[in-house]
A and B are shown apart, each in its own frame.
Chain A
Amino acid sequence: MDRKIVLEAQDLTRKVSSPEGELTIVSHVSFAIPAGQTVALVGASGAGKSTVLAMLAGLDVPTSGKVWLDGSDLTLMDEDARARLRADRVGFVFQAFHLVPSLTALENVMLPLELAGRGDAGVEARAMLARVGLGDRVGHYPRQLSGGEQQRVALARASVTRPAVLFADEPTGNLDTTTGASICQLLFDLNRESGTTLVLVTHDTQLAARCERKLTMSAGRLI
């Protein structure tokens, strides 16, 4: 059965200006990702993976080309409209966790629910923290948690809104092998349970191998 396309890039190009002149860091990239698919975006450092990820999530805008996320053309939206779309449809996991240091684990997980205007933020966030194995650490601040625990909180935060697409940028990059493996397992389990589309940028070949599809980039192009 054909699955609905949830994410589509069409002829994406991103140029930046530098002291040496204009640089093209992503060139004419096109692909479509069906709902529920797990995709690994791989390539050497500087290949343009993170830039593509940023454009797919509406964090950056392409110099030319189009991006559709769950049917919406991101390139026609202003920054606030893209932010609203992310609040509703997108989750993120980062290599550096990016938890808010002044909020507890629970408050961090509640954050996207509150930004999306959901009234049951506390209940859902507690449930999600329990799901990632941190039910007894809800009141802890990020500094009081280990790296693996912080990434679990980040996973809970990314999944709690049940996004259409979950973007992960090197989610195990800052973790040791064992912790990385357990986080990886959790990521795929959550993805399977919610049927979310997963796009992850990684150098980790084992992690990439667990994805249904692999997109490889080199010098700003898909190969």
Chain B
Amino acid sequence: MRIALLLGFRTLLREWRSGDLAVLFLALFVAVAALTGVGFLTDRIQRAMQLQASEVLAADLRLQSPDPVRDNYSVEARRRGIRTARVTSTLSVVLKGELTQLSNVHAVSEGYPLRGSVRVATRPFGVPLVATDIPAPGEVWPDSRLLAAVDARIGDELSIGSIKLRVTRVLISRPDQGSGFVDLAPSLLMNDANLAATALIQPGSRVRYVELYAGDRSRLAPFLTWFNATGKRSERVIDIADASPEVGNASARAARFLSLASLAGVLLCAVAIAMTARRYVKRHLDLAALLKTLGAPQSTVLIISLTQLACIAVLATAAGSAAGYLAQTGLLAILRDMVATELPPASLQPMFVGLAAALLLLLGFALPSMLQLSRVPAMRVLRRDVGPPQLGTMLAYGPAVLAVGLLIIWVSGDWKLSLWFVLGLSIAMATFAMAGWLLVSVVGRLRGRAGVAWRYGAANLARRRGESIVQIVALGLGLSALLLLAIIRGDLINDWRARLPSNAPNYFFVNIAPAEREAFQAMLSGDGGKVSRILPMIRGRMIAINDGPVTGRRAREGQASGRGQGRGDGLATREQNLTWSTELGPDNTITAGKWFTAADRGKPLVSVATEFQESMNLKLGDRLKFDIAGETIDVTISSFRKVQWDSMQPNFFLMFPAGLLEGAAGTYMASAQYRPTDPAAVAQLVRRFPGVSIFDMDDLLGQVRSIVEKAVLAVQSVFLFTVLSGVVVLLAAVQATRDERRYESAMLRTLGASRRTVLIGVMVEFALIGVMAGVVAAAAASTGGFFLATRLLEVPYHPNPMLWLSGAAIGAALVCVAGYLATRTALTQPPMSILRYG
């Protein structure tokens, strides 16, 4: 054992120089870097979420309601020795001078937060400190993004509704802000005492009222029982067990997706490892036979190889983890604006995952070859034609299948997802292989069409058909992912935006009080704004379908929407925005029944959007019962409508005929084309109508676009590892044919070929592989882009010839550089030394 270890270490450096172990190192390095890069990132985000899990409610119990919370709850809670606090949240435009920014306004009462802490700083993005109080009356704590948007600093005054508040600190984080990805709008914290004076809360305004409770579990449990007996349907209580917010699930899904994306590269590295291991065995057959001849048992031969593999695994893990950590820093820089919270430092766990993955890859893809090596007969020292016995199918492929299976299940954490991943990857690889085979065959037939260098390169490509196809598949996979993401990031988003009609409204106004409607429209028109649609809006809850409970339909709803059943705010039970109209907009098409006629005015009818119909399994003639501001109303479904939601016009799931709901208190919602000539006009509008929420769609779309672009860029960065893995496969393939290439080069040069001719021949071969991989990748990316455009985004797809050119150019450049580096010694070494010493 000792001598085997010693020999393993002693020959390591020399083996490294031979190139095989270097390629093996590179394959493991890229695999570990890919896994740990994503691993460090997701580890940090998930640990941040775990840290916040107990704080995410800012309380032990959290009551949420669309209506003001009755005082009797807090009275009862305090009577039971439970602490309480209130948070009232709404969306409003915040101004400083003429600069405006739509923001989440959170008015909090004394004691907030009951659990966790608010962190503040003395300057934007500054070092966070725990706040021990809340903003005093007259003060406001905006977050860094809001301050930047309105160009404000500490000491400035911000207009919020009808009042001005002075900035005294910068809000860095709140415990209940959600632990994953932030809302689009920035936030501010202000004192509850100032809320009424802002005049932001009008009848029908979209407000979320929250009451927080904290205390001993023994006191909270009976309080919850009491609440369940007395609380309103619209009021929802969340405790820590429910506190697995959707953003948490979303970021877990994103983490899983990124991990699977990194796994594609890892699996390609596995191919490189298998190729390198085969070459390692081929080169070490004589040594293994010699060692056995000199008296080494089979185990010694195996241990020598395994020692070297283990050393490489440890070194590659260390270097790969360091690279992964750097990659994670880069990914985080891309996603900085999207990650709301300060992240804890990374743990070492991803590094151990990287080491385990490296060992698993080696065991799966290299061990069978090493076992074969240890079984080479000693007789080979006398007869070189004697090779190792062939491994049985189970031993040859079993460990690889097992390793791949374990890795995929480990990373995805889901059997079904793993199967889809394997299926998808297999189909992609088979398609790429077929395309590669076709291209290699065509080029092989065209080899006589040009000079000697072209013939030499094309002949090499065709002769090593298997290796060439493997290289095309490996590089093509990574490149196609990058190109497809480039299509999404550029063309598809542009196409989608271009599809919006030029006269589409660019402003939305919500919460227009009925009494202010005409004045508001007049002011908007006076500044050149054109209201394209204005609809009344009231809030109501569906409480029965055909006199049966709504909740019975929620299972289907959960299935239809692909969500779990635990969500209490599903379509069925949450408050809906309701409207009435006599006109059917051009973006609405009746699919069944008929639209309201003049004769239907005041009749108990409803027109339902098809999405609502499908998720609730409704049919024409069904009777729906609604609770609207405490009044119940029974209506019959008279039509279903297909709504074009991206028309940028106000649209509703549920529309009633005019004359039915006018008595209920509501507000108006309007869309308008509005290009204010004077930047101050919006500010004046906000000052005059403080309760109206203004949404600048250009701004919002810009933010959505920015987030989508950043997310796609992050995914692209992960797929860079896949491209790198493709390059490693190429290096492994070149390494496998290195002796052959050296000999060919020496022979050609001995026969009079110049070094330049040989070099051009080799470069032709590599360039062809790169171009083919690029072409196959562009074809795959275009197909993917076509389906994404026509099926998902429903925009016409415009093929981009640059995609094909750039695919081929990137492919050729990558392969030529890597190929040149791998073969240059064969071209520079004197032919005599190669022919004499091999």
Residues in B364-396 with C-beta less than 8 Å from chain A: 377-379, 381-383
Chain A residues with CB under 8 Å of B420's CB are none
Chain A residues with CB under 8 Å of B837's CB are 143
The yes or no answer to B765 lying at the interface (CB within 8 A) is: no
Chain A residues with CB under 8 Å of B14's CB are 101-103, 141
**Is the beta-carbon distance between B297 and A59 smaller than 8 angstroms?**
no
The yes or no answer to B11 lying at the interface (CB within 8 A) is: yes
**Is the beta-carbon distance between A59 and B10 smaller than 8 angstroms?**
no
Please classify how large the interface on chain B is, using the bins under 10, 10 to 19, 20 to 34, 35 or more. 20 to 34
Q: Scan A141-157; emit 1 where CB is below 8 A from any B CB, else 0.
A: 10100000000000001
The residue of chain A having its C-beta at the shortest distance from the C-beta of B378 within the complex is A59
Q: State A94–B384 Cα separation when bound (angstroms).
A: 12
The yes or no answer to A8 lying at the interface (CB within 8 A) is: no
The yes or no answer to B522 lying at the interface (CB within 8 A) is: no
**Is the beta-carbon distance between A92 and B294 smaller than 8 angstroms?**
yes
Q: How many residues in A have their beta carbons less than 8 Å from beta carbons of B?
A: 34
Given contacts A115-B3, A115-B300, A143-B837, are A98 and B295 in contact (CB under 8 A)? no
Chain B residues with CB under 8 Å of A111's CB are 7, 291, 294
The yes or no answer to A53 lying at the interface (CB within 8 A) is: yes
**Is the beta-carbon distance between A102 and B11 smaller than 8 angstroms?**
yes
**Is the beta-carbon distance between A94 and B381 smaller than 8 angstroms?**
yes
Q: Scan B263-295; emit 1 where CB is below 8 A from any A CB, else 0.
A: 000000000000000000000001100111111
Chain A residues with CB under 8 Å of B806's CB are none
Pick the residue among A59, A88, A114 that contacts B382 (CB under 8 A). A59
Q: State A98–B57 Cα separation when bound (angstroms).
A: 73
**Is the beta-carbon distance between A87 and B296 smaller than 8 angstroms?**
yes
**Is the beta-carbon distance between B11 and A103 smaller than 8 angstroms?**
yes
What is the total of A-B residue contacts with beta carbons within 8 Å?
Answer: 83
**Is the beta-carbon distance between B381 and A98 smaller than 8 angstroms?**
yes
Chain B residues with CB under 8 Å of A85's CB are 295
Pick the residue among B287, B298, B300 that contacts A100 (CB under 8 A). B287
Q: State A115–B3 Cα separation when bound (angstroms).
A: 7
Q: State A96–B292 Cα separation when bound (angstroms).
A: 17
**Is the beta-carbon distance between B381 and A107 smaller than 8 angstroms?**
no
**Is the beta-carbon distance between A80 and B297 smaller than 8 angstroms?**
yes
Chain A residues with CB under 8 Å of B378's CB are 58-60, 79, 83
Q: Quote the shortest CB–CB distance from B436 to chain A (angstroms).
A: 34
**Is the beta-carbon distance between B379 and A80 smaller than 8 angstroms?**
no
**Is the beta-carbon distance between B382 and A103 smaller than 8 angstroms?**
no
The yes or no answer to A179 lying at the interface (CB within 8 A) is: no
**Is the beta-carbon distance between B10 and A87 smaller than 8 angstroms?**
no
The yes or no answer to A47 lying at the interface (CB within 8 A) is: no
The yes or no answer to B15 lying at the interface (CB within 8 A) is: yes
The residue of chain B having its C-beta at the shortest distance from the C-beta of A86 within the complex is B295
**Is the beta-carbon distance between A114 and B290 smaller than 8 angstroms?**
no
Chain A residues with CB under 8 Å of B300's CB are 115
**Is the beta-carbon distance between B381 and A115 smaller than 8 angstroms?**
no
Chain B residues with CB under 8 Å of A100's CB are 11, 287, 290
Chain B residues with CB under 8 Å of A35's CB are none
**Is the beta-carbon distance between A84 and B298 smaller than 8 angstroms?**
no
Chain B residues with CB under 8 Å of A79's CB are 292, 297-298, 378
The yes or no answer to B6 lying at the interface (CB within 8 A) is: yes
Pick the residue among A87, A101, A102, A169 that contacts B295 (CB under 8 A). A87
Q: State A158–B361 Cα separation when bound (angstroms).
A: 39
- Pairs A–B under 8 Å by Cβ, sample size 21: A54-B379, A59-B293, A59-B378, A59-B382, A60-B378, A80-B298, A80-B299, A83-B298, A86-B293, A86-B294, A87-B296, A92-B381, A98-B290, A98-B293, A102-B10, A103-B10, A107-B10, A111-B294, A114-B3, A115-B3, A157-B294
Report which A residues bind B (CB closer than 8 A).
50, 53-54, 57-60, 79-80, 83-88, 90, 92, 94, 98, 100-103, 107, 111-112, 114-117, 141, 143, 157, 169
Which 10 residue pairs of A and B lie closest in terms of their CB atoms, listed nearest first? A87-B295, A102-B14, A80-B297, A102-B11, A59-B378, A114-B3, A86-B295, A60-B379, A115-B295, A59-B379
Apart from A80-B297, A87-B295, A115-B3: 14 A-B pairs, beta carbons within 8 A: A57-B293, A59-B382, A60-B377, A60-B378, A80-B298, A83-B295, A83-B296, A88-B295, A92-B293, A102-B11, A103-B11, A103-B14, A107-B10, A111-B291
